[in-house]
Structure 1
Amino acid sequence: MNSPAIAQAPILTQPPSPPTELLERARERLRQSPRSPSQLEPSAAFTNYRLGPGDSLFVNVLRFPDLTFQNTIDLEGNLIVPLVGAMTLEGLTLPEAREQIRLALDRYVVNPQVDVILVAQRPVQVTILGEVVRPGLYPLAAPQLSTALISAGGTTALADLRTVRVRRQQDGELAEQDVDLFTPLATASPVPDLQLADGDTIVVPTLTANQGYDRNLAARSTLAQPQIRIRVLNYAAGSRGGGSFGVIQVPNGSSFLDALAASSVDLSNADLRNVALIRFDVQQGRAVARELDGKTAILGDASENPILADNDVIVVGRNLVARVTYALNTFTQPFRDILGFVLFFQSLVDSASNLFQPSGNN
């Protein structure tokens, strides 16, 4: 028989630190680790907004109120200007558009002073890839980076928010900008104000090293997926759990005890001394299990109350833990992805009618 598909490994063994301590640690790391120039100084491709069809402009001509107007750039990239007619503004920055309008009006009035204000930015479509819940193409009414991530269902537990990359094609060249979204979370500072443009591609990288990165803080942020799914296997799961196998949804960043409270496990009768937390490890392509003592967790031991991740499986009861562990150990092929991990547990429940039949104590 090949190597077993389950490994005993710790899952978030360190107890969570108080929020104030996490904040001070993050600030100290920031003082010691200078940020890269790409994070501090966005290139011109990301700071100079280019006008396009759908942008609404307010043009104020001082001393000539009859020439002041508000209009929208049409599908051909033109703006209708009083006295002048249609002017092509597509691809210009606001200062460039202001100068073009000033020069055009200068043929009709003496020394026009023109101000151009972007009243409403056109909707944009961006592609979001990487560690988000639903990668794909998204139309955005508000072209902010945070809005884009939320539209894609939020970031996953494996996302590295320190180097979210935005790619943009402009004038036939590819420009890239790395944006640090984690530091604002750790220091309670404003999120970088990067305006997205139509056709941008956003790539959320996979976390490769935990050093200096608080996954629990990221999970509790508004950028992460708001809800995670937890599967609870128990001898008497009750009506919400379908009798023996329940899928519950809890807020991202919830702990083991939060999931127990949200499930229909009878805490007074369940064998909480013998609990297994099973998680899919992407790097290994296999299930990783950790034994938990729920009674100790209830009494306040934070090391027995880990933070959960999406699609974690909680197994309650000594005999049930042994049976699930045996089933995983006899399944020798690695899981290709999280879907295979989820389907394994679903098929385990569907095919083994006696899996949840108690034999002795729990």
Structure 2
Amino acid sequence: MSVLHQPFLQPSASAQAVPANKSGISRAADAPTAADAYLLGPGDQLLLEIFDPVAKDLGGTVEILNDGSASLALLGSVILEGLTVNQASLWLSRLYSRYLLRSDLNLRVVRPRPIQVSVVGEVQSPGLYSLTTTEVSQTTGGPATTISGLPTVVTAIQKAGGLTLSANLDDVLLRRRLPGASGQLKEIDLDLLALLRQGDKRQNPFLFDGDTLIIGKAPSLDRDVMELAAANLSPQQIKVNVIGEVVTPGSLDVKANTPLVQAILAAGGPKTFRAKHSNVELVRINRNGTATRELFQLDYNQGVSGPRNPPLRDGDTVIVNRSAYAVATDALGAVTTPLSGLVNSFAFIDIFNNNRN
């Protein structure tokens, strides 16, 4: 059976208004996603209705297969992937006009496919994610929330575990495929800071299958931005380890963006005389498996600051090292403990001999 490929159909007027560069990627301007149309793809279930009473039985449920084609009566296999619903309707009407006197038809999506989007950059777990109209969204360590409705940019970020502390909220890029068989893409700049501060919902558009969301990296930490992002774009809770010369060393569950000093206080604070305030280590495991080690000075008057009192990330380990006094007393104890045991043994023998006498 022959396969009828889709013709070259021009994108919508809004898409044409954006010039493409040599790489085939266009840059969008104001309100760039408002006129974007849903593109058909494998997994979509369609309902085809033909208005000609004689050919009414030719309609029915149609599903797009993995190769982008759909099997239709009279026509055989027709490629519909990459077309909008309107473009597919015009294309099928043109094909049916070869066999029917009246080729008017109605085509609509009755069960959209789960969309797959790529979320990369400054998120906790970058990668490829499938999103549905009923999504359980949960940032790392945060409560699970059921979201009903079409997936948005915020939904995808939450699905990827939330933003990292280095995320730049006004440097978010959405890359989207244009309609048609050309495979051209367009890029859309988003400002999540405007969404959080001003409630600008245009910065949180609905996502389409194949979208790529790129979160940029901020040149420096911004406390105000971190507090805003923590509302629903960052992990609500993280797990860190505080060990060494603290009152209660071990693993702690703390709020996201908790600074190093606050985590030490949550572990009971440094031990008197034993903790060296000028020698606090932060050990962090990077995404590539390597570890970084930084030294800090414990300063209760220091606010959140990357160089002096950094916000902690999930999995960080804080080590409060020993003071010179603690090193000396531990060394003395290591030497005298065996001797004290020997003295106690001699005393026990002496008592035993005295009892015998």
| TM-score, normalised via structure 2 length | 0.57
Superposed, 1:165-180 pairs within 5 Å as: 165-168=173-176, 171=182, 173-180=184-191
Cα distance in 1 between the residues matched to 2:168 and 2:114: 30
Cα distance in 1 between the residues matched to 2:328 and 2:121: 37
Q: Shift of the alpha carbon at 1:98?
A: 1.5
1:89 and 2:44 equivalent? no
| Residue number among 252, 256, 263 corresponding to 2:256 in the alignment | 252
Q: Shift of the alpha carbon at 1:247?
A: 3.3
CA deviation map 1:76-112 (0-9, x unaligned): 3222334544322122111101112233444436362
Residue equivalent to 1:145: 153
- Helix, strand or coil for the counterpart of 2:61? strand
1:193 and 2:200 equivalent? no
Q: Shift of the alpha carbon at 1:230?
A: 2.8
Contact 2:283 2:318 survives alignment (8 Å):
no
Residue equivalent to 1:162: 170
The code of the aligned residue for 2:252 comes to I
Task: Summarize the Cα distance change of 1:103–1:133 in structure 2 as closer, same or farther, 3 Å threshold.
Answer: same
CA deviation map 1:231-263 (0-9, x unaligned): 32353544xx3xxxx2323232446797468x5
1:40 and 2:47 equivalent? no
Residue equivalent to 1:347: none
- Helix, strand or coil for the counterpart of 1:53? coil
1:217 and 2:224 equivalent? no
Q: What is the number of equivalent residue pairs in this alignment? A: 269
Contact 1:54 1:123 survives alignment (8 Å):
no
CA deviation map 1:50-72 (0-9, x unaligned): 32222222334458664552321
Tell me which of the two structures has the higher relative contact order, counting C-alpha pairs closer than 8 angstroms and 6 or more residues apart: 1
The code of the aligned residue for 1:251 comes to K
- Helix, strand or coil for the counterpart of 1:205? strand
Unaligned runs of 5+ in 2: 1-26, 133-150, 287-291, 333-357
CA deviation map 1:273-311 (0-9, x unaligned): 9967766899xx873635343xx99xxx999xx883316
Contact 1:39 1:180 survives alignment (8 Å):
no
- Helix, strand or coil for the counterpart of 1:208? coil
Cα distance in 2 between the residues matched to 1:69 and 1:52: 18
Unaligned runs of 5+ in 1: 1-36, 324-352
Residue equivalent to 1:287: 294
Task: Summarize the Cα distance change of 1:179–1:93 in structure 2 as closer, same or farther, 3 Å threshold.
Answer: same
- Helix, strand or coil for the counterpart of 1:204? strand
Residue equivalent to 1:130: 121
Cα distance in 2 between the residues matched to 1:266 and 1:123: 47
Contact 2:32 2:188 survives alignment (8 Å):
yes
Residue equivalent to 1:230: 240
Cα distance in 1 between the residues matched to 2:296 and 2:281: 4
Cα distance in 2 between the residues matched to 1:192 and 1:203: 14
Residue equivalent to 1:73: 64
Residue equivalent to 1:25: none
Cα distance in 1 between the residues matched to 2:188 and 2:330: 56
Residue equivalent to 2:111: 119
Task: Summarize the Cα distance change of 1:67–1:174 in structure 2 as closer, same or farther, 3 Å threshold.
Answer: closer
Structure 1 or 2, whichever has the larger Rg, is: 2
Residue equivalent to 2:218: 207
The code of the aligned residue for 2:68 comes to G
Residue equivalent to 1:184: 195
Cα distance in 2 between the residues matched to 1:146 and 1:312: 26
Task: Summarize the Cα distance change of 1:58–1:113 in structure 2 as closer, same or farther, 3 Å threshold.
Answer: closer
The code of the aligned residue for 1:287 comes to E
Cα distance in 2 between the residues matched to 1:313 and 1:176: 39
Superposed, 1:6-85 pairs within 5 Å as: 38=28, 40-42=30-32, 47-61=36-50, 66-85=57-76
Contact 1:102 1:114 survives alignment (8 Å):
no
Residue equivalent to 2:17: none
CA deviation map 1:302-339 (0-9, x unaligned): 99xx88331666566xxx4757xxxxxxxxxxxxxxxx
Q: Shift of the alpha carbon at 1:38?
A: 4.1
Contact 2:245 2:322 survives alignment (8 Å):
no
Contact 2:261 2:299 survives alignment (8 Å):
no
Task: Summarize the Cα distance change of 1:103–1:355 in structure 2 as closer, same or farther, 3 Å threshold.
Answer: farther
Cα distance in 2 between the residues matched to 1:116 and 1:71: 10
CA deviation map 1:154-201 (0-9, x unaligned): 220000122211335662545322222232222345352242433x44
Task: Summarize the Cα distance change of 1:154–1:205 in structure 2 as closer, same or farther, 3 Å threshold.
Answer: same
Task: Summarize the Cα distance change of 1:39–1:145 in structure 2 as closer, same or farther, 3 Å threshold.
Answer: farther
Cα distance in 2 between the residues matched to 1:38 and 1:223: 25
- Helix, strand or coil for the counterpart of 1:185? helix
